[in-house]
Amino acid sequence: MTQRDGGPVRILVLCTGNSARSQIGEALLATRGAGRVEAASAGSRPAAAVNPYAIDVLREHGIDWDGRRTKSVDELADEHFDLAITVCDDARDACPYFPGAAARVHWGLPDPAIATDPDAARRAFAATYDALAWRVDALLALPLETLDPAALRERAQNVHALDRTP
């Protein structure tokens, strides 16, 4: 695992389009875990662009995510990650195995991008942000640098199981 070499814990967040949930997860991990975590995100079928509502909700929380692009899991296939987190059922099924991940967990969340009008979309993206912020904070409270892959997988999955978002 990367942690053993003293480098940052590498975490990959996966979803289908890499335009909403995984981008928010990456942004939260990158900002809240800065210096300790190296975050990336990708999708099994990447959208053309990051969803503007994802950029807006991140900006509302002080995270500048302008200029980011969606990525395919294929772009990261040769990289090693300590933890891969799928955030939608489609990505979990489309990517049952990410060869460069030492541990993998599933934090299934509803897709905020399916909202049909602007007000509903803003509410859905705010709820997604809140759900991921709680999980990321709980994950970062763990001694990530000292956990072996099995313990990391178990503890990271428990974060999702113990969800306490409003």
Exposure string for 75-104, b = 16+ CB within 10 A, e = fewer: ebeeeebbbbbbbbebbbebbeebeebbbb
Q: What is the pLDDT of residue 44?
A: 85
Give the model's confidence band at 4: pLDDT under 50 very low, under 70 low, under 90 confident, else very high. Answer: very low
The C-alpha torsion from 96 through 102 and 106 to 112, rounded to 10°, is -90
pLDDT at 24 over 60: yes
Catalytic residue among 13, 15, 40, 85: 15
| Identity of the amino acid at 1 | M
Asked if 85 and 105 touch (Cβ cutoff 8 Å), the reply is: yes
Catalytic residue among 28, 85, 95, 109: 95
Helix axes 149-161, 118-140, angle to 10 degrees: 140
Question: Does the active-site annotation cover 74?
Answer: no
Give the model's confidence band at 5: pLDDT under 50 very low, under 70 low, under 90 confident, else very high. Answer: low
Question: Does the active-site annotation cover 111?
Answer: no
Pair type for strands 81-86 and 37-43: unpaired
Give the model's confidence band at 162: pLDDT under 50 very low, under 70 low, under 90 confident, else very high. Answer: confident
Give the model's confidence band at 2: pLDDT under 50 very low, under 70 low, under 90 confident, else very high. Answer: very low
Catalytic residue among 88, 103, 109, 144: 88
Q: What is the pLDDT of residue 97?
A: 54
Q: In angstroms, rounded to a whole number, what is the distance separating the alpha carbons of residues 125 and 147?
A: 31
Q: How far is CA 122 from CA 57, 60, 126, 138, in A?
A: 8, 11, 6, 24
List pLDDT tens digits, range 37-83. 999 999 988 999 999 999 999 999 999 999 999 999 999 988 999 99
pLDDT at 1 over 50: no
Q: What is the pLDDT of residue 90?
A: 57
| Identity of the amino acid at 128 | T
Q: What is the pLDDT of residue 96?
A: 42
Tokens of 99: 């060869």
List pLDDT tens digits, range 102-159. 899 999 899 999 998 999 999 999 999 999 999 999 999 999 999 999 999 999 999 9
Q: What is the pLDDT of residue 29?
A: 98
Question: Does the active-site annotation cover 95?
Answer: yes
Query: Domains in the chain, start-ordered, CATH in brackets?
Result: 7-152 (3.40.50.2300)
Q: What is the pLDDT of residue 16?
A: 87
What is this structure's pTM? 0.92
